[in-house]
Amino acid sequence: MGQVMKLRSQVVPHAKGVVLEVGMGSAINMEFYNANNVDMVYGLEPSEGMRRKALPNLAKTPIKVEWLDLPGEKIPLDDNSVDTVLLTFTLCTIPDWNAALQQMRRVLKPGGELLFLEHGESPHDDTRKWQNRITPGWKKLAGGCHLNRHIADLIRHAGFEIQELENLYIPKAPKIAGYIYKGRAINPLKTSPAA
């Protein structure tokens, strides 16, 4: 198992109840869900091509999956309707990250968990300088991916409370794209933001 898949296997099994996976893509995470703990998964994925690529992975799972074909800034679910939100290598590409995170908070029940595995801004000056230099061109080549987003700060800014956070570089990956934010945040026990 590659390093990225190993990281996925450490995050995804913590999902429970009704799950919203933002940027579900090819459904690569499905093999890591614990079917005994998950009622269903809403897969938010605006790309029809990625939804087609997901079919083989979905055929292997007993978990019910319902596609939502809108971007993260427009989640078509009721307030307080999901128990877990899962983000894996997605937040870097969402144009309006704050609107998307506010939508995630809106649909996540108070006390519900945001599980995240993302790459982003390095704490090391030299690497961060290169991330800032390269990001404008990188976005054009990599589907809007921003190398220089400080994922933990974005999550906190949206009102989530981070409970666990681990940072690391993926071994053998280029440092500019391999700084990882892995963790768990909760939606505070109060009313979620309005739509």
| pLDDT tens-digit map of 18-62 | 999 999 999 999 999 999 999 999 999 988 899 999 999 999 999
pLDDT surpassing 70 at residue 195:
no
pLDDT at 22: 96
Which of 118, 129, 108 shows the shortest CA–CA distance to 192?
108
Query: How is residue 68 annotated by DSSP?
Result: E
Burial class (CB in 10 A: 0-12, 13-18, 19+), 13: middle
Query: How is residue 36 annotated by DSSP?
Result: T
Stated as kind and residue range, the H or E segment containing 104 is: helix 97-107
pLDDT level of residue 190 (50, 70, 90 thresholds):
low
pLDDT at 73: 85
3-state secondary structure of 152: helix
The pTM assigned to this predicted structure is: 0.94
- Which carries the bigger pLDDT value, residue 191 or residue 106? 106
* Mean pLDDT (the chain, rounded): 94
pLDDT level of residue 191 (50, 70, 90 thresholds):
low
Domain residue extents for the chain: 3-186
Signed CA dihedral, 180, 184, 188, 192: sign only:
positive
CA triple 76-5-187, angle to 5 deg: 40
- What are 119-147's pLDDT values in tens digits? 999 999 999 999 999 999 999 999 899 99
Please give the single-letter amino acid code of residue 102.
Answer: Q
pLDDT at 79: 96
What is the dotted CATH code of the domain comprising 3-186?
Answer: 3.40.50.150
pLDDT at 194: 54
